Amino acid sequence: MNACPFSNPSQVFEDLAQARDQPGLTWSEVMNRWVVSRHDDIVTALHDPTTFSSRPTVPDMPSHVLEAFSGKVPLRGTLIGHDNPIHDRLRAAVNTFFMPRRIARFESWIEAQAHALIDEFYEEGEVDFRARFSSPLPLKVISHIVGLDPDRSEVYFKALQFFSSPGPEKLQPLVDFHDEAMAAIEARRYRRHDDLMSHVWNLRDSGEAEMDDFEMLSLFPGLMLAGHETSANLIVMALTHMLARPGAYETAQADDASRSRAIEEALRFEAPITGMPRRVTCPVNLGGTELKPGDEVFLAYASGNRDPHYYERPEEFDVERSGTQQHIGFAQGIHACLGAPLARLLLKVEMRVIADRLPNLRFAKAYEDREYLPVREVRALVDTPFAWDVTDEGRAKAGRHPKPSEIGNDDGWMSGHVIERRKVATDVVEIVLAADAGALPAWTPGAHAEIELPNSLIRQYSLTGGQIDDGRWRIAVLREADGRGGSRFMHDDLPMGSKVRVRPPRNHFPLSGAGPILLIAGGIGITPMIPMMAASDARGRSSHLLYLGKARAGMAYAGDLEARVPDRVTVWPAQEKGRFDLSGYLSALPAVTTVYCCGPERLIQAVEQACETYGLTCRVERFAPAEFDVGTNAPFEIELRSTGEVLPVAADETILSVLGRRGIFVQSTCQQGTCGTCEVGVVEGEILHRDSVLTKEEHAAGDTIMVCVSRCAGKRLVLKL
């Protein structure tokens, strides 16, 4: 064993194994820090960012550099070098963008770009694969996703090399790069696209993200640094291991699921980040060693990933590995890799394109002769020659794929415009939308649609009116003076003909069951009730509408309804008639009645309570998420829809850990509700949301949960598992 586990790159895993077996932490001369080698100790430190500061992850710059960069280049890196409260404030602006199901819309673009790169070198039959493919691809992809020009990514790459090997001649290119990024940010201020810069502007405009322009600039260059070298090294190391084991490459390349499985194993077996440093801020004992403020540790993810207490046969590279233990190649906690969902998508697409385009792929040197760069945070091969058979069939594929420039991001949005608008009450405007081409999709009563305004704010509105399939959508919008700006825009800046984008409606508030129906609307909560009443009439179900509001003048459609169905609607403006006796009214209903309620939170809670008291079935649609008391955890149960199996979740457990113990693997990264990786569908039950990636509307919809942190607000959740 070498005294320092990082002194010999070809023996690093053997040395780390010995470090794990020794009591306390091991000192590393190479890292000049204490090495944390056991899985549990690493995870403990990751989840205690107050004691273990991330400041040393980004080294301080010498004074002449600080001078040259002052006011032009942010120096603390993207999130990674920030502690809280700054870290969480900045990360909240980018988290939701990277959720797996949202980032998936870039898949076709990534695939097209991968083909375009292979077209450039296919005929050569052998290249340094990292230089020609696995390094340029993530740079182009991240540039595109961020909102920079993917065709200039090589220029960006050269500029960013300052951080790996600083030199005076590299100062100006880095300043130029930041100027270009700042110009792109400025351009997005007024004209939004489907990219990360626009996403951050949207959140800044709506007040959901707080930062200044320079902080915003700091987010993007660091993403390219954090994301490109890591992905570039991972895939080439993974390929060498697969190709060296008989049948492993073919097994991994069977389909997308096997590709993803093999990539996860590669991230466990030899992740491109060996580990990251932390600085101790207060006296603490970690792994049996007493540490004092100022001490620095190196969290060796590469070692935790081979800890035999966590993984069976940890030294074996098994592309079919199953099991429920999530590797820590992307770390965990507040600094868990932001780009993990993108990396997973990118690597899977790379594998797929390689399988399609490079027959008989081989590592063009003996596996045993592969050489690694000296071990630092980054784990990388020195050179990466790969060869393949150049065939006529392969030639025929060149240039046959769509160009990246021809591909949009397939995110389900359609273009539409405003064809009618009229005032339907004080502070309520009705707007009718039509598709630019063809018809807008039909919908079902209770559904809401997502609408993106020309200023890029995205809002959800219940669809209203009697016609559900005439290719037009009707919404009514209450001006909310203290709102987040969407309703003000609808009222003041969306004239006839204005362009919008829309996404197909979703319905979390459908009419169901049999028997009589009571619809209770509070204020603008009337909108879904109108089509629901029409639908219940069409189905022959008796229904009554109770419409509560403050003043009659502000109650949209009240007059129409009274004129049309006078005996089946009760319009109750409190200013005229006083407070409505909700409890008394509901107590007199037959027990078979189903009550539907939409309106302000206070009304919904009162209706829910009264329905529980009188044994009535209650369905609600919230404008905002329910407010939960997150103080104390209560136990509850989860039911797996596929098998009907019921599992208890104790007060001190997470759903993720219970599923893991039962042998059901749900992929996770941060394990604290910020990345969206562990999302699971919910069929039934009330969710106690504690994540920070889902939108308010998604929380309110209640059909999806982040199982690492969120819980059940009632007794049981039925999961789509």
Q: Is the peptide bond before 528 cis (omega within 30 degrees of 0)?
A: no
Q: If DSSP states are collapsed to H, E and C, what string results for 598-633?
A: EECHHHHHHHHHHHHHHCCEEEEEECCCCCCCCCCC
- Residue among 235, 220, 136, 133 at smallest CA distance from 181: 220
- In the list 339, 416, 465, 531, the residue contacting ligand HEM (rule: CB under 6 A) is 339
Looking at the DSSP bridge assignments, the partners of residue 34 are: 27, 297
9 binds ligand HEM (CB under 6 A): no
Q: Which stretch binds ligand HEM (CB under 6 A): 75-83, 249-257, 452-460, 511-519?
A: 75-83
The listed partner (ligand HEM, ligand FES, none) that binds 80, CB under 5 to 8 Å by sort, is ligand HEM
The listed partner (ligand FES, ligand HEM, none) that binds 388, CB under 5 to 8 Å by sort, is none
The listed partner (ligand FES, ligand HEM, none) that binds 691, CB under 5 to 8 Å by sort, is ligand FES
- In the list 307, 452, 691, 698, the residue contacting ligand FES (rule: CB under 6 A) is 691
The listed partner (ligand HEM, ligand FES, none) that binds 226, CB under 5 to 8 Å by sort, is ligand HEM
Shortest separation between residue 427's beta carbon and ligand HEM, angstroms: 41
Calpha distance 10→80 (Å, rounded): 28
Q: Which stretch binds ligand HEM (CB under 6 A): 202-210, 225-233, 432-440, 593-601?
A: 225-233
Q: Which is nearer to ligand FES, 253 or 669 (CB)?
A: 669
- Residue among 524, 546, 539, 720 at smallest CA distance from 638: 720
Q: Which is nearer to ligand HEM, 94 or 535 (CB)?
A: 94
276 binds ligand HEM (CB under 6 A): yes
552 φ/ψ angles, rounded to the nearest 5 degrees: -55, -40
Q: Which is nearer to ligand HEM, 94 or 598 (CB)?
A: 94
Gyration radius of the chain over CA positions:
29
The listed partner (ligand FES, ligand HEM, none) that binds 664, CB under 5 to 8 Å by sort, is none
Strands 33-36 and 26-28: antiparallel
Query: CA angle, 141 as apex, 100 and 70 as ends, to 5°?
Result: 105
78 binds ligand HEM (CB under 6 A): yes
For residue 521, with 0-12 CB atoms within 10 Å meaning exposed, 13-18 middle and 19 or more buried, which class applies? buried
Calpha distance 720→710 (Å, rounded): 15
Q: In 528-544, which positions are buried (b, 16+ CB within 10 angstroms) versus exposed (e)?
A: bbbbbbbbbeeeebebb
Quote the tokens at residue 405.
């420039």
- In the list 331, 349, 375, 532, the residue contacting ligand HEM (rule: CB under 6 A) is 331
Shortest separation between residue 690's beta carbon and ligand FES, angstroms: 10
286 binds ligand HEM (CB under 6 A): no
91 binds ligand HEM (CB under 6 A): yes
- In the list 238, 358, 361, 708, the residue contacting ligand FES (rule: CB under 6 A) is 708
678 binds ligand FES (CB under 6 A): yes
303 binds ligand FES (CB under 6 A): no
649 binds ligand FES (CB under 6 A): no
Chain residue at closest Cβ approach to ligand HEM: 339
Query: CA angle, 669 as apex, 665 and 670 as ends, to 5°?
Result: 130
677 binds ligand FES (CB under 6 A): yes
The listed partner (ligand FES, ligand HEM, none) that binds 329, CB under 5 to 8 Å by sort, is ligand HEM
The listed partner (ligand HEM, ligand FES, none) that binds 331, CB under 5 to 8 Å by sort, is ligand HEM
Calpha distance 573→217 (Å, rounded): 50
337 binds ligand HEM (CB under 6 A): yes
Quote the tokens at residue 557.
């459609």
DSSP letter, residue 132: I
- In the list 36, 103, 223, 518, the residue contacting ligand HEM (rule: CB under 6 A) is 223
Q: Which is nearer to ligand HEM, 196 or 545 (CB)?
A: 196
Q: Which is nearer to ligand FES, 193 or 662 (CB)?
A: 662
User: Which stretch of DSSP H or E encloses residue 120?
Assistant: helix 107-121
Calpha distance 709→693 (Å, rounded): 11
80 binds ligand HEM (CB under 6 A): yes
Quote the tokens at residue 518.
């009571």
Sequential DSSP letters for 249-311: HHHHTSSHHHHHHHHHHHHHHS-SB--EEEEE-S-EEETTEEE-TT-EEEE-HHHHTT-TTTS
Shortest separation between residue 235's beta carbon and ligand HEM, angstroms: 8
Shortest separation between residue 201's beta carbon and ligand HEM, angstroms: 18
96 binds ligand FES (CB under 6 A): no
Number of residues that bind ligand FES (CB under 6 A): 13
- In the list 200, 238, 273, 682, the residue contacting ligand HEM (rule: CB under 6 A) is 273
Chain centroid to CA 336: how far? 12
**Do residues 112 and 406 touch, judged by C-beta distance below 8 A?**
yes
668 binds ligand FES (CB under 6 A): yes
- In the list 676, 687, 689, 701, the residue contacting ligand FES (rule: CB under 6 A) is 676
Calpha distance 544→529 (Å, rounded): 10
The listed partner (ligand FES, ligand HEM, none) that binds 457, CB under 5 to 8 Å by sort, is none
704 binds ligand FES (CB under 6 A): no
The listed partner (ligand HEM, ligand FES, none) that binds 335, CB under 5 to 8 Å by sort, is ligand HEM
Q: Which stretch binds ligand HEM (CB under 6 A): 112-120, 280-288, 323-331, 588-596?
A: 323-331
Residues 6 or more apart whose CB falls under 8 angstroms from that of 556 comprise: 424, 425, 428, 430, 476, 524, 526, 527
Residues 118-147 that bind ligand HEM (CB under 6 A): 142
Calpha distance 628→582 (Å, rounded): 23
Which residues are near ligand FES by CB under 6 A? 668-671, 673-678, 691, 706, 708
Which residues are near ligand HEM by CB under 6 A? 54, 57, 78-80, 91, 142, 223, 226-227, 230-231, 234, 267, 271-273, 276, 301, 329-331, 335, 337-339, 342-343
